[in-house]
Amino acid sequence: MVDAAIDATRAGANSRRQRRADFLFRGTTKFFALTVLLLLGAVMVALLIGGMPAFRAFGLPFLWTETWNPVKQVFGGAPAIYGTLVTSLIAMAIGVPLALGVAIFLTELCPPVLRRPIGILIELLAAIPSIIYGIWGLFVLAPFLQLTVEPFLKETLGSVPLAGVLFSGPPLGLGVLTAGFILAVMVLPFIAAVTRDVFQTVPSILRESAYGIGCTTAEVVREIVLPYTRVGVVGGVMLGLGRALGETMAVTFVIGNSHRISPSLLAPGTTISATLANEFSEAVGGLYTSSLIALGFILFVITFIVLAAAKLMLMRIEQRSAQ
């Protein structure tokens, strides 16, 4: 009788202790989930505060001022912002068709046995660190482009009115175009992987019906797969764009680092990330450092918007395929 009562109290104490432990564990996981949330906010706020002196000193014109003069303490973000956008655009122009090609190959054309190995090899392109792309771009790709592709572009497109100015100037190998090429290779695996995955969400019945009425593979892709997965593909492209905008080391190696906006794609330029990588640890003076942090803030805001849009689009297609 007494024993049973003691057992019951013990069991009660035990269950209370367990409940407390459970509450603690649950609380801990929630705490760290909140930490992740706060981290993003903290990055924004820290960069905004760090960039404040520059924003105060130069105001909005910081965005379109071309001067970057550490000696006179005059800083404008235009060349870096321009370079970031142009290199990413080139990367998208080359990388997106390639990535779509890879995705089409993997979902429609590839023998099933080879699907996984080829898919993994393409994904390994994403595993290679940025700095390796940089060193390869500097020593292998840049000389190759300088001797072959750039002279070819100059000869064929250099004399075309309007477009010719894009390919004017000496072929240096190091410049905006080379950076765009490298970025195209780097975003290819990301876009290809997402596109392949969303292609696979197309219900087989749609695909098979199209083949059944005599569509060719190309027609199935164009008329069925792409319209069905449009949102997801755009999401994948935006994800790649987000990566391209913030890519640092590969670009730093090959872009030539010049704070000048040149209409020619063969000319050296700079990007936000390359400017930071090159100048930050040597920046002296509060305004110089602050201008660099301000550039970082601008980069973070741009990539945040692009990545958030990408994520929202991909969520839409996930929801649809879950239904």
CB-wise, 83 or 158, nearer to other proteins?
A: 83
CB-wise, 266 or 292, nearer to other proteins?
A: 292
Shortest Å, Cβ 161 to other proteins: 29
3-state secondary structure of 205: helix
Shortest Å, Cβ 304 to other proteins: 6
Shortest Å, Cβ 44 to other proteins: 9
Shortest Å, Cβ 73 to other proteins: 20
- CB contact at 8 A, 177 and 91: no
Shortest Å, Cβ 185 to other proteins: 5
CB-wise, 106 or 267, nearer to other proteins?
A: 106
Phi–psi pair at 268, nearest 5 degrees = -70, 155
Shortest Å, Cβ 136 to other proteins: 5
CA angle 48, 51, 54 (to 5 degrees): 140
DSSP 31-88: HHHHHHHHHHHHHHHHHHHHHHHHHHHH-GGGGT---EETTTTEE--HHHHHHHHHHH
List of residues 6+ apart from 129 with CB closer than 8 A = 249
Is the dihedral angle over the CA atoms 316, 317, 318, 322 positive or is it negative? positive
Shortest Å, Cβ 311 to other proteins: 5
Nearest to 88 by CA among 240, 210, 231: 240
CB-wise, 116 or 230, nearer to other proteins?
A: 116
CB-wise, 2 or 32, nearer to other proteins?
A: 32
CB-wise, 96 or 264, nearer to other proteins?
A: 96
CB-wise, 21 or 63, nearer to other proteins?
A: 21
Alpha helices, H only, the chain: 2-58, 78-104, 112-127, 130-136, 142-144, 150-157, 176-199, 204-212, 217-219, 226-246, 249-254, 272-279, 286-322
First-residue to last-residue Cα distance in the chain: 58
CB-wise, 89 or 125, nearer to other proteins?
A: 125
Nearest to 251 by CA among 271, 281, 267: 271
Shortest Å, Cβ 107 to other proteins: 10
Nearest to 92 by CA among 185, 167, 193, 176: 185
